[in-house]
Structure 1
Amino acid sequence: MRTAGHDANRRTSTGLRAHVVVRRPAFDLDLDLTAGPGEVVALLGPNGAGKSTTLRALAGLQPLSAGEIHLGDRVLDRPATRDYLRVEQRPIGVVFQDYLLFPHLSALDNVAFGPRAHGVPKAPARAAAQSWLERVGLADVAGARPRALSGGQAQRVALARALAVEPRLLLLDEPLAALDAATRMDVRADLRRHLSAYDGTCVLVTHEPLDAMVLADRLVVLENGRVTQQGSPAEVARTPRTEYVARLVGLNLFRGHTDGAGEAGAAGVVRLADGGELTTGRRVAGEVFVAFAPSAVALYGSAPGGSPRNCWQVEVVGVERHGDLMRVRLTGRPPVLADVTADAVADLGLQPGARVWASVKAAEIRCYPA
């Protein structure tokens, strides 16, 4: 998306500023969210984290329990002062997970519906809709009803319908979830191109890390109703701070402590919170995270020679295919994931219950402050 970044003052003065608080008997959502013009922010998290509730609150479909939502200089929702802007009054476009196209209307009239609902006469609204269908490459299906459209075409019609009202805020709720894997790749690239040309603010909800990494400028990770990490896709992928994020980006992650003694930047021993220790290639004092890829883990049938710094005995819990490799889940101190070849699985007898040795080079372990 925008690689040069965005001015912070512009983000807060003309973009989205929200403190979303929604309280229910079994759920409590509380997060701060900002997004600037031309910026795509992805809310990423597991099912039940509060992503869709946040989106519904921004759209006006879920009243706040507390907090406030500002879009530019307009207050959309602020319970403390009883300010609330109705759904139809908000300058917002929404693409729902199932698209929710009107089945009795053509693609053209689906896109024209928004402008018509905002008081634009029929002819200009249909002309604007035709222009939007051309922009998303669907001019040739303008007369088709939703049931005649492919999943990718329906997604683009839904996007055109949302953008046809020229919204200042675009909300995308799992916009690629209804697509098969083959279609998703093409539509993802298409959606990225359209979002790059959109100068409004966009909030994307997804549980798919690849969608978030490709489409968003900034990730906000939501777990159990709270923000647990945020940053650029590269920052989040490089320095995960929760087990959920580590799983998303495919890393082994542990929290621990180092006394920081010795030469700064030199190798240091991290004592892990759940037992065991790891030597890293770079010393960081105090509470730290250590992370390394499953591909960095070597497995041996017996203790390897040469006394590598990080070597410990583990037990195989399970083995599953992972792309061209096999991912081995191992318990020990610490427990790890290892990616090995199918030949290695056979040669080492990596079946559940088998005991082997794991080794990781200190230089392969990333260490950063917790």
Structure 2
Amino acid sequence: MTADPSVPGADPRPAGAVLDAHLVVDRGTFRLDLPLTIGPGEVVALLGPNGAGKTTALRALAGLIPLTDGHLSIEGRHLDDPARRLWTPTEQRPIGVVFQDYLLFPHLTALDNIAFGPRRQGLDRHRARQRAADWLARVGLAEHARRKPRHLSGGQAQRVALARALAVEPALLLLDEPLAALDARTRLDTRAQLQHHLAGHCGATLLVTHDPIDAVVLADRLVIIENGQVVQEGDVATVTARPRTDYVARLVGLNLYRGHADGHRVLLTDGFHLVTGDQHAGDVFVAFAPSAVALHPGRPDGSPRNTWPATITGIQRHGDNLRVQLGGPVTVAADITPAAAAQLNLAPGRTLWAAVKAAETRVYPAAAAPADVAAEP
């Protein structure tokens, strides 16, 4: 049954949503304008470059800054609505937060850090500590109950912070770069543990992160924002297969271009064409992996349909390979092995030839699909 929005207290959420929000926040010349819904048990990752508005969104959800416009409801309860002069303090919101630096109370033990939230909710000391002890056991730290934060490792502190957030049984769990402070090995182990605990969380979860691996492993759905607005949204497979902005393309490791297709040819810019394996008509995106770009000291013969002279603008280590940044009629990244790099005698400023086979390109319409929200790259 659809709720009647004219009835006070009626639930305006899409069916099944735990969080129904339209976050509008003006901060000087910057405006966040972010529609956001999250269903029960769903993990949504919010990604974007620095300054995109991720932290502003998290702070608005937590009640640390008020909305300028829009609305915020959790489980049908209206928490923020500037038009009605409604704003709910942080401590009265059904949320749990894991901050990037964890922000554990330094004077409290791990047990009492976790018990703090339930105590604030009205549980007596004994019951709050029982719940905290249960959560310590769930995160594998039962023997660390009496340790204070300074005696915990980074991974242990992260697990205590997660247990503290979940101990209040939040309808909405907010994770602010929860793995960013960890070293690579600890991060790998802790990510797996976090995935397990999120799978058991019945409420909604918003993960704010810069790390595409964290997002892909932990999230059911990705929401990408740039300059305060959604530029792409969808499940992991959709977003990674069809990026719609340069930021998203870099995030998933693809070269991305926008152009106009006429059959197998796509006009990109200044008369430069790419030949593609698929036929299209109209405005399209063309994407291909850096590993699809072959580099040659001279113009290659043979099968590649796309060749052009390019100038090396940078060289970085990328896993076991080298990533070569190239300028020319189009900017492109190429991944090559160290052995190939030695044969090519690579150096910034050197000119060589780039080649991409038509079959290695991926072409899709520039118009937004239902799961996407497109923006100009």
User: TM-score when scaled to structure 2?
Assistant: 0.92
Q: CA deviation at 1:335?
A: 2.0
Q: How far apart are the structure 2 equivalents of 1:98 and 1:145?
A: 15
Q: CA deviation at 1:11?
A: 5.7
Aligned to 2:81: 78
Aligned to 1:139: 142
Q: 1:219 and 2:222 equivalent? A: yes
Q: CA deviation at 1:336?
A: 1.0
Q: 1:186 and 2:189 equivalent? A: yes
Give the AA of the match of 1:153.
Q
1:252 to 247, 252, 255: 255
Aligned to 1:282: 278
Q: How far apart are the structure 2 equivalents of 1:275 and 1:326?
A: 30
Aligned residues: 355
Alignment of 1:287-302 (within 5 A): 287-302=283-298
Q: 1:48 and 2:44 equivalent? A: no
Q: How far apart are the structure 2 equivalents of 1:153 and 1:270?
A: 52
1:341 to 334, 337, 341: 337
Give the AA of the match of 2:254.
L
Give the AA of the match of 2:146.
G
Aligned to 2:94: 91
> Is contact 2:17–2:37 with CA below 8 Å preserved after alignment?
no
Aligned to 1:111: 114
> Is contact 2:276–2:361 with CA below 8 Å preserved after alignment?
yes
What's the CA shift string for 1:186-222, capped at 9, x where partnerless? 0011000000111100011011111111110000001
> Is contact 2:293–2:355 with CA below 8 Å preserved after alignment?
yes
Aligned to 2:317: 321
2:129 to 122, 126, 129: 126
Q: How far apart are the structure 2 equivalents of 1:278 and 1:23?
A: 42
Q: Residue 231 and residue 258 in structure 1: after superposition, are their counterparts in 2 closer, same or farther (change >3 A)?
A: same
Give the AA of the match of 2:190.
V
> Is contact 1:11–1:37 with CA below 8 Å preserved after alignment?
no
> Is contact 2:303–2:357 with CA below 8 Å preserved after alignment?
no
Aligned to 2:4: none
SS in 1 for 2:278: coil
SS in 2 for 1:170: strand
Q: 1:354 and 2:350 equivalent? A: yes
1:228 to 217, 225, 231: 231
What stretches of structure 2 of length at least 5 have no aligned partner? 1-11, 367-377
Q: CA deviation at 1:86?
A: 1.7
Aligned to 1:63: 66
What's the CA shift string for 1:113-160, capped at 9, x where partnerless? 001011100001000100011011110100100000000110110111
What stretches of structure 1 of length at least 5 have no aligned partner? 1-8, 261-267
Give the AA of the match of 2:93.
R
Q: How far apart are the structure 2 equivalents of 1:158 and 1:308?
A: 53
> Is contact 2:312–2:327 with CA below 8 Å preserved after alignment?
yes
Give the AA of the match of 1:358.
A
Q: How far apart are the structure 1 equivalents of 2:262 and 2:188?
A: 47
Aligned to 1:24: 27
% of aligned pairs identical? Answer: 64
Q: How far apart are the structure 1 equivalents of 2:228 and 2:243?
A: 18
2:199 to 165, 181, 196: 196
Q: How far apart are the structure 2 equivalents of 1:70 and 1:25?
A: 25
What's the CA shift string for 1:142-185, capped at 9, x where partnerless? 01000000001101101111111111110111111111111111
User: TM-score when scaled to structure 1?
Assistant: 0.93
Q: 1:171 and 2:191 equivalent? A: no
CA RMSD in angstroms, aligned pairs only? 1.4
Q: How far apart are the structure 2 equivalents of 1:200 and 1:11?
A: 15
Q: How far apart are the structure 2 equivalents of 1:299 and 1:241?
A: 26
SS in 1 for 2:61: helix
Q: How far apart are the structure 2 equivalents of 1:223 and 1:271?
A: 26
Give the AA of the match of 2:323.
R
Q: How far apart are the structure 2 equivalents of 1:172 and 1:238?
A: 25
Deviates more, 1:42-51 or 1:341-350: 341-350
Aligned to 1:263: none
Q: CA deviation at 1:98?
A: 0.7
Aligned to 1:310: 306
Q: CA deviation at 1:285?
A: 1.4
What's the CA shift string for 1:61-102, capped at 9, x where partnerless? 110000000112110100001112221111111111111111
Q: Residue 11 and residue 154 in structure 1: after superposition, are their counterparts in 2 closer, same or farther (change >3 A)?
A: farther
Give the AA of the match of 1:100.
L
Q: CA deviation at 1:273?
A: 3.5
SS in 2 for 1:283: strand
Q: How far apart are the structure 2 equivalents of 1:207 and 1:93?
A: 20
> Is contact 2:262–2:279 with CA below 8 Å preserved after alignment?
no
